[in-house]
Amino acid sequence: MGERDHAGQPMIRIVMGALVREGRVLLVHRSPHRHVYPDMWGLGGGHMEPGETELDALARELDEEIGVQIEPGSAIHLCRLQKGLGEEAVHFSAWIVEQWEGTPTNAAPEEHDEIRWFRPDDLPPLTHEPVRTAVIAAMRG
């Protein structure tokens, strides 16, 4: 059984990671055929599986999507947000990741059609504006 909300409904939880290096952040571009947030830039990540911690899920998702292995202890929590209410609610948690092994690559071409490094001043609109704002603040801070 996965985590449940106050009404006993299963919670949908998403983790996202902002890989940051040399003043730039790595973003993934969601394929136009994606059902949710098509044709938009965002952070790598995905759904937490039952029994996973946020950091375990983040490490798994970044390995699956962009082929990097992070040291979970090196990730710094960035922000949380919720979209929707009740059983429609989705809970997001974003992290800054500054240490990883491997070269980022688009390891999930069925999900993303491009990955690219951006400087804070050049950051495009993201799937979640509060995450974009937090990433820019963290990179400048």
Q: Which pLDDT belongs to residue 10?
A: 64
* Percent of the chain whose predicted confidence (pLDDT) is above 70: 93
Residues 6+ apart with CB under 8 A from 25: 18, 19, 117, 118, 120, 123, 135, 139
Q: Cα(94)–Cα(81) distance, rounded to whole angstroms?
A: 9
CATH superfamily of 12-140: Nucleoside Triphosphate Pyrophosphohydrolase (3.90.79.10)
Q: Which pLDDT belongs to residue 9?
A: 52
Q: Which residues of 23-53 are buried (b: 16+ CB within 10 A; e: fewer)?
A: ebbbbbbbeeeeeeeeebbbbbbbebeeebe
- The gap from C-alpha 8 to its chain's centroid, in whole angstroms, comes to 26
Mean pLDDT of 54-76: 94
Q: Cα(80)–Cα(134) distance, rounded to whole angstroms?
A: 10
Q: Where are the domains of the chain?
A: 12-140
Q: Cα(92)–Cα(102) distance, rounded to whole angstroms?
A: 25
pLDDT at 3 over 80: no
Q: Is 140 exposed, middle or buried (0-12, 13-18, 19+ CB in 10 A)?
A: exposed
Q: Which pLDDT belongs to residue 117?
A: 98
In tens, the pLDDT along 26-53 reads 999 999 998 888 999 999 999 999 999 9
The closest alpha carbon to 56, from 43, 73, 80, belongs to 73
Q: Which pLDDT belongs to residue 86?
A: 82
Helix (H/G/I), strand (E/B), else coil: 122: helix
In tens, the pLDDT along 77-114 reads 999 999 988 888 999 999 999 999 999 999 999 999 99
Answer whether 115's CB lies under 8 Å from 36's CB.
no
